[in-house]
Structure 1
Amino acid sequence: MADASLLQELRGVRAATPSVWFMRQAGRSLPEYRSLREGTTMLDSCVRPEMAAEITVQPVRRHRVDAGIFFSDIVVPARQAGLGVEIQPGVGPVFDHPVRTEADVDALPPLGDDYEAALDPIREAVRLTVAELGTTPLIGFAGAPFTVASYMVEGGPSRDHLRTRALMRSQPEVWARLASWVAELSGRFLRAQVLAGASAVQLFDSWVGALSVEQYLAHVQQHSADALAHVTALPVPRIHFGVGAAHLLPQMFEAGATAMGVDHRLRLDHALELLPQGTPVQGNIDPAVLFTSEQARFAEAREVLAAGAAASGHVVNLGHGVPPTADPQVLTDLVSFLHAQGGASA
């Protein structure tokens, strides 16, 4: 598996052909996913090993991407730890009891042997997936502490994360305890996937772009570092990705990443100017081009390849996740086009 071109790119070794995978490629837009999931809730499907493995493999089978991304959700670890949370259609993750006070943090379940046992379905799903993928790498996945904790504080999705940002300022010690708990939660979730066979990991921070550099450094960076620390001793690349986080790229990299995901708001060559020399990057085709003409899509793909050519390694991806209304054939054709392009020189 170490010779897989995608893993080489993530380690800073250029390949002859571009490597590509898509965030949220597992599920959503695929009819075979919707058929398999029928009658099953999102979170239940994540902890049914055979189903999770099949969903992870479906886009690899269909699109011929260079990696599978483990089918999961950022709130799965919290659910496995014992918190009441469900994904409401059209809304997103909603927690039964928001965590907003010191008493709420005191009531969080301990992350001991029970949590380790609750991760057994995840380990089994990874093992089944890796066996099915063969020589195609599997990327493990977890939500970053800020985003997961924000969901817990807000009780569900939020446009502005006002409660979370207020908690950071008004009760920094309560926030720190909550974020530390989530870092342990997500870090052990990542480690379980790697020990079961995942060849790389991505820590995904959906809402971190809402923070200033000062807020990130004071209240978030250390907790993301603590999450990634669970896998730093393991020989796998660590991708860190945030949405709307161009102003945070150096600080997010310093949290323990070995490669940086960049969303579609910042050109990769500009991102490289902000990051330490030699940092491999991932990204960053605008998902909007999936709904344009083939000519426009391929032009954007060429531009992204050119912008990433100076990087030590570049894994092509979207600048965010696959929209659920995307045409699967468009993704298949985009992968084929990218594979037909020559890679950057080493």
Structure 2
Amino acid sequence: MKNSLFLDAALSKATVRPPVWMMRQAGRFMPEYWEIKNKYSFLEMCKTPEIAADVTMLPIDLLGVDAAILFSDILVTGEAMGGDLSFTQGVGPKFANPVKNQKDIDNLQTDVLDRLQYVADAIKVIQQRLNGNVPLIGFAGAPFTVMSYLVEGGSSKDFKLTKLFIHNHPQLAHQLLQKIALVTIDYLNMQIAAGVNAVQLFDSWALSLSWDDYKEFSHKYNVEIIAKLNRKDVPVISFCKGSSVFAPLMAEAKPDVVSIDWNADLRNIKQSLPKGIAVQGNLDPHILYADKSVIKDRIHRLFKRMEGENGFIFNLGHGIMPDIPFDHVKYAVEVVKDWRGASS
């Protein structure tokens, strides 16, 4: 690997500067993304290896980040299991056949890797394009987050149906979560076999859960997934909105990296975690709307706070919003790459 900064930091090795990549870095804030998106549907982009590779490469070519992340979606596992998935501009993902009862759960399949082969094919194309320059991150949605979409039938602000489901029908919820976990294990191991250099588990909506519900309906399955990955030399990153609260539990699942939202002091979290677990984060993505002087100040403030800590990957506390100016994102990457310690 010509640029191993990301992998070194993920494995808690010393680096000359923090590596940088950003969640949703190959997304809607880029005009070049829209040039592709205007020709194809979102699912066509995900399911066509050459197009997925084109989009994956955009932030490598245009931003110069230290890692690529596979262009796909966390809900492709739900679709492969039997969810009738569609994406509508301005609405987001929808499952036309939401899960409501035992029969719906029974109808979901778990032997579905053949339906996800397009992801493995895309990984092979992307790795040819990357040519060893930077690592490629694969990913999957964590069971609770995928379940929330399957139960709600799409995005939700309050997760009312999901919470009713886990509270009134916990046995059904565990059946559904176990099925998603089995698929997720197979899916991430398929990505590793296809050649990704790291994987991230996205539990995007864990923040909606209480501590006890997170332990029972999220953490339990994330532990199982991470334990069953073929992870030799492949760092595992665990992310959720709510990681500033749940980080101690997340660490119990033994990932290599815990990705932290922007609500916590990153150094305090790092020092509270077991030795050898790296942290990723945790700039508030809204900072990227601000003036460039503010962007630079906030990144430098974070870096000075993390001075002397091995195992630190710079990222946002969540993904880039679509209307953040591309020039501001590029500037943030340049600020990171120019960093050489507190005296810089």
TM-score bracket, normalised by the shorter chain, equals over 0.9
Give the partner amino acid of 2:127: V
Give the partner amino acid of 2:44: D
What's 1:59 paired with?
59
What's 2:315 paired with?
317
Percent identical residues: 34
Instruction: Confirm or deny: 8 A CA contact 1:281 1:308 kept in the other structure.
Output: no
Instruction: Confirm or deny: 8 A CA contact 2:227 2:253 kept in the other structure.
Output: no
Instruction: Confirm or deny: 8 A CA contact 1:14 1:314 kept in the other structure.
Output: no
Instruction: Confirm or deny: 8 A CA contact 1:147 1:208 kept in the other structure.
Output: yes
Structure 2 SS opposite 1:20: coil
Equivalent residues in 2 for 1:79-228, closer than 5 Å: 79-109=79-109, 111-112=110-111, 115-134=112-131, 135-228=133-226
Unpaired runs of 5+ residues, structure 1, are none
Cα deviation code 1:276-330 (max 9, x no counterpart) = 2332100111111111111100011011212333533101011110111121121
Cα deviation code 1:237-272 (max 9, x no counterpart) = 100011133211111221231110001111201212
What's 1:23 paired with?
23
Give the partner amino acid of 1:335: V
Instruction: Confirm or deny: 8 A CA contact 1:18 1:342 kept in the other structure.
Output: no
Equivalent residues in 2 for 1:223-238, closer than 5 Å: 223-238=221-236
- C-alpha distance 337-3 of structure 1, shift in aligned 2 (>3 A): closer
Q: How many residues align?
A: 341
Alignment of 1:288 onto 2:297:
no
Query: What is the rounded CA distance, in whole Å, between the counterparts of 1:218 and 1:36 in structure 2?
Result: 41
Query: What is the rounded CA distance, in whole Å, between the counterparts of 2:97 and 2:232 in structure 1?
Result: 35
Comparing 43-52 with 217-226, greater Cα deviation is found at 217-226
Query: What is the rounded CA distance, in whole Å, between the counterparts of 1:167 and 1:83 in structure 2?
Result: 18
Comparing 144-153 with 219-228, greater Cα deviation is found at 219-228
Comparing 63-72 with 333-342, greater Cα deviation is found at 333-342
Comparing 27-36 with 226-235, greater Cα deviation is found at 226-235
Instruction: Confirm or deny: 8 A CA contact 2:256 2:276 kept in the other structure.
Output: no
Query: What is the rounded CA distance, in whole Å, between the counterparts of 2:263 and 2:3 in structure 1?
Result: 31
Comparing 197-206 with 327-336, greater Cα deviation is found at 327-336
Unpaired runs of 5+ residues, structure 2, are none
Shift of 1:3: 6.7
Instruction: Confirm or deny: 8 A CA contact 2:304 2:341 kept in the other structure.
Output: no
Equivalent residues in 2 for 1:332-343, closer than 5 Å: 332-342=330-340
What is the aligned-residue RMSD (CA, Å)?
1.7
Query: What is the rounded CA distance, in whole Å, between the counterparts of 2:281 and 2:10 in structure 1?
Result: 12
Cα deviation code 1:87-138 (max 9, x no counterpart) = 22222211111112112111112x22xx222222111100111111122100
Give the partner amino acid of 2:117: D
Query: What is the rounded CA distance, in whole Å, between the counterparts of 2:260 and 2:155 in structure 1?
Result: 22
Comparing 58-67 with 162-171, greater Cα deviation is found at 162-171
Give the partner amino acid of 2:135: P
What's 2:253 paired with?
255
Query: What is the rounded CA distance, in whole Å, between the counterparts of 1:200 and 1:233 in structure 2?
Result: 8
What TM-score do the two structures reach when normalised by structure 2?
A: 0.95
Structure 2 SS opposite 1:331: helix
What TM-score do the two structures reach when normalised by structure 1?
A: 0.94
Shift of 1:17: 2.4
Instruction: Confirm or deny: 8 A CA contact 2:11 2:276 kept in the other structure.
Output: no
Structure 2 SS opposite 1:317: strand
Structure 1 SS opposite 2:139: strand
Instruction: Confirm or deny: 8 A CA contact 1:191 1:231 kept in the other structure.
Output: yes
What's 1:4 paired with?
4
Query: What is the rounded CA distance, in whole Å, between the counterparts of 2:255 and 2:220 in structure 1?
Result: 12
Structure 2 SS opposite 1:203: strand
Give the partner amino acid of 1:65: V
Give the partner amino acid of 1:116: L
